[in-house]
């Protein structure tokens, strides 16, 4: 019997082992990875969290594309990573699966869904669940159906949370409001909901309601995936930081108007119409100058107390921080059709402007920060006496008044009480701006030699 050559045996064993290993690798890639959709080996031989996130996003975005969801990226961390140069590098990113922008190291990514462009489709939610996603849908009252006459209890979807492999995709639904802006509601968990479903404290949207102007969107490719993003990313991120929205207090306003019925005379209705037109025009004029403003004094009181404007006030009051003043503001209002009624004070002290439009007066009070308070000034034209109105420091939120999106002090009650005292909820038709406000202080007298410059009445 011939002797077996050891070299031949070893060679055969080596070839057999290699063939078996190649078969295993082929089987793993062709069958196992298809079943899971997530088991992709990196060079180190293990699955990374960014690869899991990328595969989860790919699966979700493919589903969203199939159902034609008008989604766009709103994730603050992801958008912050994007520069205009990065967005333009479409060709380089098309075939790459490296998760450079969409995988931020956070267990959550946020998108917005333009609800006015999408008819609610439960088929999409069902398909997502069939693809392995856990779903949490959060609903809330539809404020667009609420009014002083009817307090609607109808609900609408506000937030979708999709979870797969402990990774959360947060979809915020944006609805168009009557003021032609986009709004999302707060995220509120009901008692029966699973509070461990997601790390809710890490969510970038939903702690408060929010308001945005409609962004222009562009379709680009990020990490090899088709994604819509805001064209002006820095503007969107700036909006996001100051998007908090305060809903009108309809129930309290309704109770107030039961005690003090609203004036429905022809003169009051005409004033409402003119005040709305003035507010719209003033908002556009200041927006063109990039000057933020808020409704102040009696106009703010009317919004907070009765969800409307106080008809017997016969004017509109707004506030602007003096740091946002622009020298061209007077000419801009004149170009918009306003006439200057008076100009009191100076930029350094107690500046106040007053304009007329269609027989309705617009008062612009400029506010100054002084330590732990803010204040605006007042001037009596005939005597040169100065007054100061003190307010606690406040931040700004969005609201809606007369179907116009406006800012209000977020700490509205503190602001109103500073100006009108604890009886702010009782109408006072006889009001003296020099003595009636709770926060008014005497502030000296303008020098007579400076009256021509500091007290201008037209």
pLDDT tens digits, one per residue of 40-59: 334 444 447 788 899 999 99
Domain 49-243 -> CATH class: alpha beta
Q: Give this prediction's pTM.
A: 0.85
Q: How many CB atoms lie within 10 A of CB 124?
A: 17
Contacts of 242 (CB under 8 A, 6+ apart): 396, 398
Q: 412-444, pLDDT tens digit by residue?
A: 999 999 999 999 999 998 999 999 999 999 999
Residue 36 clears pLDDT 50, i.e. is over it: no
> What pLDDT shows up at residue 99?
84
Residue 19: pLDDT band (50, 70, 90) is low
> What pLDDT shows up at residue 378?
97
**Interval 176-195 mean pLDDT:** 94
Alpha carbon distance 387, 349 (integer Å)? 11
Q: Are 165 and 174 in contact (CB under 8 A)?
A: no
Token digits for 434? 């020099």
Burial of residue 275 (CB within 10 Å: 0-12, 13-18, 19+) is buried
Q: Are 318 and 364 in contact (CB under 8 A)?
A: yes
Q: 380-412, pLDDT tens digit by residue?
A: 999 999 999 999 999 999 999 999 999 999 999
Q: Are 176 and 154 in contact (CB under 8 A)?
A: no
Alpha carbon distance 276, 176 (integer Å)? 19
> What pLDDT shows up at residue 458?
92
The chain-wide mean pLDDT, for the chain, equals 89
Q: What CATH architecture does domain 250-457 belong to?
A: 2-Layer Sandwich (3.30)
What residue ranges of the chain are covered by domains with CATH 3.30.460? 49-243, 250-457
Percent of the chain's residues with pLDDT above 90: 77
Contacts of 332 (CB under 8 A, 6+ apart): 285, 288, 289, 326
283-293 residues labelled b (16+ CB within 10 A) or e (exposed)? bebbeeeebeb
Token digits for 56? 């989860």
Residue 94: pLDDT band (50, 70, 90) is very low
Residue whose pair of structure tokens reads 């929205």 in the numeric block: 245
């Amino acid at each position: 019997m011939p002797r077996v050559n050891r070299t031949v045996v070893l060679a055969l064993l080596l070839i057999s082992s290699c063939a078996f290993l190649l078969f295993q690798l082929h089987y793993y890639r062709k069958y196992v990875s298809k079943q899971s959709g997530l088991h992709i080996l990196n060079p180190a031989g293990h699955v990374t969290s960014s690869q899991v996130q990328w595969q989860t996003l790919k699966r979700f975005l493919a589903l969203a594309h199939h159902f034609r969801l008008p989604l766009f990226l709103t994730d603050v961390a992801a958008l912050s990573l994007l520069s205009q140069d990065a967005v333009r590098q479409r060709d380089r990113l098309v075939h790459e699966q490296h998760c450079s922008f969409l995988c931020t190291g956070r267990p959550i990514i946020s998108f917005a869904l333009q609800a006015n462009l999408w008819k609610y489709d439960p088929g999409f939610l069902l398909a997502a669940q069939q693809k392995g996603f856990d779903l949490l849908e959060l609903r809330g009252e539809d404020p667009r159906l609420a009014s002083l006459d009817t307090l609607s209890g109808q609900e609408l979807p506000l937030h979708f949370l999709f979870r797969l492999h402990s990774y959360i995709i947060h979809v915020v639904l944006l609805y168009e409001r009557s003021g032609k802006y986009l709004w999302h509601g707060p995220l509120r968990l009901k008692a029966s909901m699973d509070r461990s479903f997601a790390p809710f404290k890490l969510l970038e949207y939903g702690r408060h309601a929010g308001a945005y102007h409609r962004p222009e969107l562009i379709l680009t490719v990020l990490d090899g995936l088709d994604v819509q993003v805001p064209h002006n990313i820095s503007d969107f991120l700036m909006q996001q930081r100051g998007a908090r929205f305060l809903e009108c207090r309809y129930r309290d306003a309704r109770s107030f108007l039961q005690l003090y019925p609203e004036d429905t005379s022809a003169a009051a209705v005409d004033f409402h119409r003119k005040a709305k037109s003035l507010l719209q025009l003033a908002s556009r004029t200041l927006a063109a100058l990039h000057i933020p403003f808020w409704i102040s004094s009696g106009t703010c009181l009317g919004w907070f107390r009765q969800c409307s404007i106080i008809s017997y006030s016969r004017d509109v009051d707004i506030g602007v921080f003096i740091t946002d003043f622009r020298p061209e503001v007077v000419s801009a209002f004149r170009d918009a059709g306003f006439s200057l009624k008076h100009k009191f004070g100076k930029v350094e002290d107690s500046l106040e402007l007053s304009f007329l439009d269609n027989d309705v007066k617009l008062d612009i009070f400029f506010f100054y920060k002084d330590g732990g308070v803010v204040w605006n000034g007042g001037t009596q034209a005939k005597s040169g006496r100065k007054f100061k109105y003190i307010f606690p420091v406040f931040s700004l939120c969005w609201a809606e008044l007369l179907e116009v999106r406006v800012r209000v002090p977020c700490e509205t009650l503190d602001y109103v009480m500073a100006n009108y005292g604890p009886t702010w909820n009782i109408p006072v038709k006889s009001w003296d701006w020099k003595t009636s406000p709770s926060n008014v202080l005497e502030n000296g007298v303008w020098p007579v030699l400076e009256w021509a410059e500091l007290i201008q009445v037209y």
